[in-house]
Amino acid sequence: MPTKFYEDPIDPYLPQNGNRGYRVSRYDLELQYKVDSNRLTAKATITAVTTEVLTKFALDLSQSLSVTKVSVNGARAAKHGHQHGKLTITPQQKIPAGGALSISVQYGGTPKPIRSLWGEVGWEELTEGIIVASQPNGAASWFPCDDHPSSKASYRISVTTDSPFYALANGSLLRKQTKASHTTWVYEQAEPMATYLATVQIGSYERRRFVGGIVPMSAILPPRLRVPFEHDFERQPQMMETFTRLFGPYPFAEYTVVVTDDDLEIPIEAQGISIFGANHCDGRRGAERLVAHEMAHQWFGNSLTLTAWKDIWLHEGFACYAEWLWSEESGGPTAEQLARAARHNLARLPQDIVVGDPGPELMFDDRVYKRGALTLHTLRIELGDEQFFALLHEWTAKHRHSSVTTQEFTDLAAHFTSIPLRRLWDAWLREKELPELPPHSA
């Protein structure tokens, strides 16, 4: 019986994304990219296991890219079709449930961002180079995939491009080889990663390493921004020490910040990487709260990734609260002061949003970020600092490199207090009206 692709969506926020019938464990991506012509030639090898008998299956892939060859388990596919962002593949023989699935796709073209409800996301040209920022559904703009955040896998990403350019992808650099006028960069991302967090960054960059610190940290940036960067991002090692103490061990082998030569409207997270624009280097630490926000996503969003987009507050509420925690730790306003100010400002805005299920149109609304952070501050007041931060440590340890839900967080929080928390969750996550903050217990 043919697998259904559109009925019964995996996530109603993105009903066309994600696919049933298999689970991916690994992506091997070989990319050859010409910067001047924005031309991509690529091969993806996808390792998966079937969860049901498959006579055909699908991958997400943008129509901007053309598929030239598909094979399944070493044999050329009987046929494949590519319509409406779905690459449908029919193997020569049906594959039993629990069967190994090795899919090879050769493809190429002129990649461009995917137009979405939230603007253009995915592979995008810069003035000189490219940026990949795929949240929430832009991964299919550059490789065939099961594009849903609960589908996490390991990656090897090989990028061959013109030698003057620096190419960065997720994970550790395994090797770099220059031949003639091209350089190949090969990265291995061993920890499971959601598709939207996979990235490639190409530009006229240099690499700068941070001295000291408990986690290896480096920066990829244009040479012209070196001086303001060193001031604006100077406190990252202390930030990392603070978050490690408050949240638990950093979940990846290293941390890299990219600063593009172009301005960016907002910074964006990728696994093990945060991407900022030239405008975030102002020489005055004007974007330091965003530096903290993006670093916090390595725990909340990248290691612990939401199972469904309705739980976006588990990413953005936590990262926003991390901004307040860093301010508190670094001599700025306390989290209590920032929470009171945020509550005051939110009271002036429409109260028409449910933080625990905001709907696709509002899932990146700033009120989700701020009210999510206020939810955590309220919980901190309720539990007290010792129990609150013990909860965060347990949360990040128990679900390290996996997928999470709001229910799992609220269930875990119940173990850290004898007081029922149902009213707290109902008021902050399930109702539109903005609650009052409880009195601070100093």
From 294, 323, 329, 408, active-site residue: 294
What is the number of other CB atoms lying within 10 angstroms of the CB of residue 329? 18
Are the C-beta atoms of residues 94 and 55 closer than 8 Å to each other? Answer: yes
Q: Does the annotation list 297 as a binding residue?
A: yes
Q: Does the annotation list 148 as a binding residue?
A: no
From 27, 187, 255, 369, active-site residue: 369
Please say if 369 is a catalytic residue.
yes
Nearest to 436 by CA among 344, 337, 329, 336: 344
How far apart, in whole angstroms, are the C-alpha atoms of residue 176 and residue 429?
Answer: 47
Longest dimension (CA), the chain: 68
Please say if 191 is a catalytic residue.
no
Q: Which two tokens stand for residue 57?
A: 């299956």
What is the per-residue DSSP string for 359-372? -GGGTT-HHHHHHH
How far is the first Cα of the chain from the last one, in angstroms, to the nearest whole number? 62
Backbone angles phi, psi at 103, to 5 degrees: -110, 130
SS3 content of the chain, % helix, strand, coil (to 5): 30, 35, 40
How far apart, in whole angstroms, are the C-alpha atoms of residue 152 and residue 148?
Answer: 8
353's enclosing H/E stretch is none
Q: Please name the residues in contact with 268: beta carbons below 8 A apart, sequence gap of 6 or more.
A: 133, 135, 274, 275, 294
How far apart, in whole angstroms, are the C-alpha atoms of residue 405 and residue 307?
Answer: 6
Q: Does the annotation list 316 as a binding residue?
A: yes
Residue list, annotated binding site for Zn(2+): 293, 297, 316
| Active-site annotation, residues | 294, 369
Residue list, annotated binding site: 293, 297, 316
